[in-house]
């Protein structure tokens, strides 16, 4: 009997992948396909901002936007995660990949070449997209690879993620269309930077005690639990101040469509408030499972915000 390689057991999809690709399927798994829908949705947000819902239904600039989305999600983000896996050498579950197989020998090189191929292809898209890709390519290497490995430096990893995922990812979806970036759209994209700054420490609180036992230096451990939640609340306030400024710049009125837009922003802010305020009040009595539930509630508030932004800025574009 031939022993199965680690990672080959599990879901039927994973078993089918190994039957089809053999050991090469390890490379695909370390691109962490489970994260692709999340990255694709946040990238597509920029496309809806650029062309509006009506334009999206009419397939305006759909070709370059679709190519840009594939390059951003598959080549750039997938390559970044592959390099992470290559140097992290985690043995347990990692983000968006349960029971990961051991990193293949050439995984770091594979991730770099994938990102580099995406950069070459990005040069055929509008310049804004190519520059955004190049910026995140550089940030990804600084974040993941020695000698810098900024992902291991609490605070620096926070800054890189809030800009890379929060703002540059939806900007890439916008820039791929070639549309000019208005001031109100710029403010909306900037607002996602502090919004991700709010979300990031919330993803670490359910592992607070475990990370503490291991001696890790996560952002949440450095700040402390209460201060992490207060930082999240403050960053959320900054994000919605930028959303409000974007509405003012766009000339929303207090009647008709403008009134509906303002109400939608209030709805999104209420979603965040409903997560964070009770969490701050009860955090001392909460168990790790409660903090994990809070993290998922924050992710739902993020999804509500995405929908609100598409409605408020995309529906009437």
CA distances, 239 to each of 45, 194, 210, 236, 263 (Å):
16, 5, 30, 5, 16
* Confidence tier at 99 by pLDDT (50, 70, 90): confident
CB of 108 closer than 8 Å to CB of 144: no
Q: What percentage of the chain's residues is helix, strand, coil (to nearest 5)?
A: 75, 0, 20
Rounded to the nearest integer, the mean pLDDT of the chain is 89
Q: Which residues pair with 97 in a beta bridge?
A: 94
**Pick from 24, 148, 146: nearest CA to 86:** 146
Question: pTM of the entire structure?
Answer: 0.89
Q: What is the pLDDT of residues 100-153, one digit of tens each?
A: 888 898 999 999 999 999 999 999 999 999 999 999 999 999 988 888 888 777
Residue 208 confidence (pLDDT)? 81
CATH code for residues 182-317 = 1.20.120.1780
Q: What is the pLDDT of residues 24-69, one digit of tens each?
A: 888 998 899 988 998 999 999 999 999 999 999 999 999 999 999 9
Per domain, the residue ranges of the chain are: 20-181, 182-317
Residue 12 confidence (pLDDT)? 82
Count of other CB atoms within 10 angstroms of residue 26: 24
Q: What is the pLDDT of residues 190-240, one digit of tens each?
A: 999 999 999 999 988 888 887 777 666 788 888 989 999 999 999 999 999
- From first CA to last CA, the distance across the chain in angstroms is 63
% of the chain with per-residue pLDDT over 90: 64
Q: Whose structure tokens read 């890790």?
A: 216
């Amino acid at each position: 009997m031939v022993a199965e390689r680690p990672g080959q057991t599990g879901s039927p999809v994973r078993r089918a992948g190994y039957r089809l690709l053999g050991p090469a399927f390890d490379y695909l798994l370390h691109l962490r396909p489970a994260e692709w829908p999340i990255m694709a949705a946040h990238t597509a947000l920029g496309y809806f901002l650029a062309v509006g819902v009506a334009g999206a239904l009419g397939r305006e600039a759909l070709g370059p936007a679709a190519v840009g989305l594939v390059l951003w999600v598959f080549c750039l983000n997938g390559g970044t995660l592959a390099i992470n896996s290559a140097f992290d050498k985690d043995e347990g579950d990692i983000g968006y990949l349960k029971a990961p197989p051991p990193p293949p020998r050439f995984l770091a090189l594979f991730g770099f070449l994938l990102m580099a191929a995406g950069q070459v292809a990005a040069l055929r898209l509008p310049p804004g997209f190519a520059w955004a890709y190049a910026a995140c390519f550089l940030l990804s290497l600084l974040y993941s690879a020695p000698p810098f490995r900024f992902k291991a430096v609490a605070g620096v990893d926070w800054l890189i993620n809030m800009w890379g995922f929060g703002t540059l990812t939806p900007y890439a979806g916008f820039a791929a269309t070639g549309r000019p970036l208005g001031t109100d759209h710029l403010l909306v994209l900037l607002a996602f930077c502090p919004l991700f700054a709010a979300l990031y420490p919330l993803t670490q609180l359910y592992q607070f005690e475990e990370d503490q036992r291991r001696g890790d230096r996560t952002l949440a451990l450095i700040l402390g639990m209460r201060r992490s939640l207060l930082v999240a609340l403050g960053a959320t306030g900054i994000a919605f101040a930028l959303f409000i400024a974007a509405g003012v710049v766009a000339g929303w009125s207090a009647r008709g469509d403008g009134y509906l837009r303002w109400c939608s922003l209030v709805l999104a802010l209420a979603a965040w408030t409903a997560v964070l305020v009770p969490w701050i009040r009860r955090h001392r009595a909460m168990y790790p499972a409660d903090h994990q539930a809070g993290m998922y509630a924050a992710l739902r508030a993020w999804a509500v915000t995405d929908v609100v932004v598409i409605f408020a800025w995309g529906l009437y574009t």
